[in-house]
């Protein structure tokens, strides 16, 4: 039987392998909505569809953009926050532009229908 930690690692690895090309920095161009959506899909493995976590992992949808970006940059730094599991490894693979696009993307998601999503 696999431990939850091992399952999270396996899911993160699968996301990286599947979305690897999409995680590469964009070639001197702005992130398109499609690119951000593809990047955000990797987050769904742990944080739930559209960043609305159904479990113990934090919901990131609707959080302030500045806070999300600050946290992503902290994960990417050489000294990530204590207790970090896979986020430091995931964030290191993203450019600062991609981190900003993800923070902006998740900050704009409406969370007012969160209870309805949890029922589905």
- For the chain, helix, strand, coil in percent to 5 are 60, 0, 40
Q: Which helix (H) or strand (E) holds 74?
A: helix 65-76
CATH of the domain at 106: 1.10.760.10
Per the listing, tokens 């392998």 go with 17
Higher pLDDT, 53 or 23: 53
What's the whole-number mean pLDDT along residues 17-26? 54
Nearest to 77 by CA among 106, 99, 105, 58: 99
Tokens representing residue 110 in the block: 């409406």
pTM of the full structure: 0.67
pLDDT for residue 97 is more than 90? yes
Which carries the bigger pLDDT value, residue 13 or residue 53? 53
Number of domains in the chain: 1
User: Could you read off the pLDDT of 40-91 as tens digits, one per residue?
Assistant: 998 999 999 899 998 899 999 999 999 999 999 999 999 998 888 899 999 9
State the chain's mean pLDDT as an integer: 79
Q: What is the domain range of residue 99? A: 4-23+30-119
């Amino acid at each position: 039987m696999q431990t939850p930690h091992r399952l999270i690692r396996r899911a993160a690895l699968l996301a990286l392998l599947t979305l690897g090309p999409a995680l590469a920095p964009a070639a001197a161009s702005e992130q398109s909505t499609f690119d951000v959506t593809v990047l955000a899909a990797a987050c769904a493995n742990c944080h739930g569809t559209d960043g609305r976590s159904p479990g113990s992992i934090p919901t990131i949808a609707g959080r302030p953009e500045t806070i999300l970006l600050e946290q992503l940059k902290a994960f990417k730094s050489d000294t990530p926050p204590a207790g970090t599991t896979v986020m430091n490894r995931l964030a290191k693979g993203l450019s600062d532009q991609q981190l900003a696009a993800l923070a902006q993307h998740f900050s704009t998601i409406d969370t007012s229908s969160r209870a309805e999503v949890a029922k589905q």
